[in-house]
Amino acid sequence: MEEVLKFFIEYKDLIIIIILSIFLGIEVISHVPAVLHTPLMSGSNAIHGVVIIGAIIVMGHAHDTLSLILGFIAVILGTLNVVGGFVVTDRMLEMFKKKKK
Protein backbone atom coordinates (compact mmCIF):
# COMPACT_ATOMS: atom_id res chain seq x y z
CA MET A 1 0.00 0.00 0.00
CA GLU A 2 2.88 2.36 0.77
CA GLU A 3 4.29 1.78 -2.71
CA VAL A 4 1.01 2.81 -4.32
CA LEU A 5 0.81 5.93 -2.16
CA LYS A 6 4.43 6.76 -2.97
CA PHE A 7 3.67 6.34 -6.70
CA PHE A 8 0.70 8.73 -6.52
CA ILE A 9 2.70 11.30 -4.58
CA GLU A 10 5.65 11.06 -6.96
CA TYR A 11 3.55 11.37 -10.12
CA LYS A 12 0.70 13.55 -8.85
CA ASP A 13 1.29 16.23 -11.53
CA LEU A 14 1.02 13.68 -14.33
CA ILE A 15 -2.04 12.08 -12.76
CA ILE A 16 -3.75 15.48 -12.55
CA ILE A 17 -2.92 16.14 -16.23
CA ILE A 18 -4.40 12.78 -17.23
CA ILE A 19 -7.59 13.40 -15.25
CA LEU A 20 -8.00 16.89 -16.74
CA SER A 21 -7.34 15.47 -20.23
CA ILE A 22 -10.10 12.92 -19.73
CA PHE A 23 -12.60 15.61 -18.75
CA LEU A 24 -11.50 17.84 -21.63
CA GLY A 25 -11.79 14.96 -24.10
CA ILE A 26 -15.29 14.12 -22.93
CA GLU A 27 -16.32 17.76 -23.21
CA VAL A 28 -14.87 18.16 -26.71
CA ILE A 29 -16.30 14.89 -28.05
CA SER A 30 -19.76 15.58 -26.65
CA HIS A 31 -19.96 18.79 -28.72
CA VAL A 32 -18.98 17.25 -32.07
CA PRO A 33 -21.76 17.65 -34.67
CA ALA A 34 -23.14 14.49 -36.28
CA VAL A 35 -21.77 15.52 -39.71
CA LEU A 36 -18.19 15.31 -38.41
CA HIS A 37 -18.72 12.08 -36.51
CA THR A 38 -17.94 9.67 -39.38
CA PRO A 39 -14.61 11.26 -40.42
CA LEU A 40 -13.52 11.46 -36.79
CA MET A 41 -14.37 7.80 -36.26
CA SER A 42 -12.26 6.88 -39.28
CA GLY A 43 -9.33 8.78 -37.81
CA SER A 44 -9.89 7.13 -34.44
CA ASN A 45 -9.88 3.70 -36.08
CA ALA A 46 -6.55 4.48 -37.75
CA ILE A 47 -5.03 5.63 -34.45
CA HIS A 48 -6.22 2.50 -32.66
CA GLY A 49 -4.71 0.39 -35.43
CA VAL A 50 -1.36 1.92 -34.47
CA VAL A 51 -2.11 1.21 -30.80
CA ILE A 52 -2.76 -2.44 -31.62
CA ILE A 53 0.54 -2.72 -33.50
CA GLY A 54 2.37 -1.08 -30.59
CA ALA A 55 0.73 -3.44 -28.11
CA ILE A 56 1.75 -6.44 -30.21
CA ILE A 57 5.34 -5.14 -30.25
CA VAL A 58 5.24 -4.71 -26.46
CA MET A 59 4.00 -8.26 -26.07
CA GLY A 60 6.82 -9.51 -28.31
CA HIS A 61 9.46 -7.79 -26.18
CA ALA A 62 7.86 -8.60 -22.82
CA HIS A 63 10.34 -9.81 -20.23
CA ASP A 64 7.91 -10.10 -17.38
CA THR A 65 4.34 -11.19 -16.86
CA LEU A 66 2.99 -7.67 -16.23
CA SER A 67 4.18 -6.39 -19.62
CA LEU A 68 2.67 -9.40 -21.33
CA ILE A 69 -0.67 -8.96 -19.57
CA LEU A 70 -0.80 -5.19 -20.25
CA GLY A 71 0.08 -5.78 -23.91
CA PHE A 72 -2.63 -8.42 -24.22
CA ILE A 73 -5.23 -6.16 -22.61
CA ALA A 74 -4.20 -3.31 -24.93
CA VAL A 75 -4.59 -5.57 -27.99
CA ILE A 76 -8.05 -6.71 -26.87
CA LEU A 77 -9.31 -3.21 -26.01
CA GLY A 78 -7.82 -1.67 -29.15
CA THR A 79 -9.40 -4.38 -31.31
CA LEU A 80 -12.79 -3.88 -29.66
CA ASN A 81 -12.54 -0.14 -30.26
CA VAL A 82 -11.58 -0.56 -33.93
CA VAL A 83 -14.39 -3.05 -34.59
CA GLY A 84 -16.91 -0.87 -32.74
CA GLY A 85 -15.72 2.18 -34.68
CA PHE A 86 -16.21 0.42 -37.98
CA VAL A 87 -19.70 -0.70 -36.96
CA VAL A 88 -20.67 2.84 -35.93
CA THR A 89 -19.13 4.31 -39.09
CA ASP A 90 -21.03 1.82 -41.24
CA ARG A 91 -24.30 2.69 -39.49
CA MET A 92 -23.65 6.41 -39.97
CA LEU A 93 -22.91 5.94 -43.66
CA GLU A 94 -26.11 3.90 -44.07
CA MET A 95 -28.06 6.92 -42.84
CA PHE A 96 -26.78 9.02 -45.76
CA LYS A 97 -27.61 6.50 -48.49
CA LYS A 98 -30.74 7.05 -50.51
CA LYS A 99 -33.46 4.52 -49.88
CA LYS A 100 -34.47 2.37 -52.83
CA LYS A 101 -38.12 2.61 -53.81
pTM: 0.55
Whether 24 and 42 map to the same domain: the answer is: no
pLDDT of residue 37: 66
Long-range (24+ apart) CB contacts under 8 A made by 34-41 are 34/92, 37/92, 38/89, 38/92, 38/93, 41/85, 41/88, 41/89, 41/92
Structural domain span for residue 47: 36-101
Q: What is the pLDDT of residues 19-69, one digit of tens each?
A: 999 999 888 878 877 667 667 777 777 787 888 898 888 888 888 888 888
Whether 6 and 44 map to the same domain: the answer is: no
pLDDT of residue 21: 93
pLDDT greater than 70 at residue 17: yes
Whether 49 and 3 map to the same domain: the answer is: no
Number of domains observed in the structure of the chain: 2
Predicted confidence band of residue 89 (pLDDT cuts 50, 70, 90): confident
Whether 45 and 60 map to the same domain: the answer is: yes
Higher-scoring residue by pLDDT: 92, 6: 6
Whether 19 and 1 map to the same domain: the answer is: yes
Whether 64 and 87 map to the same domain: the answer is: yes
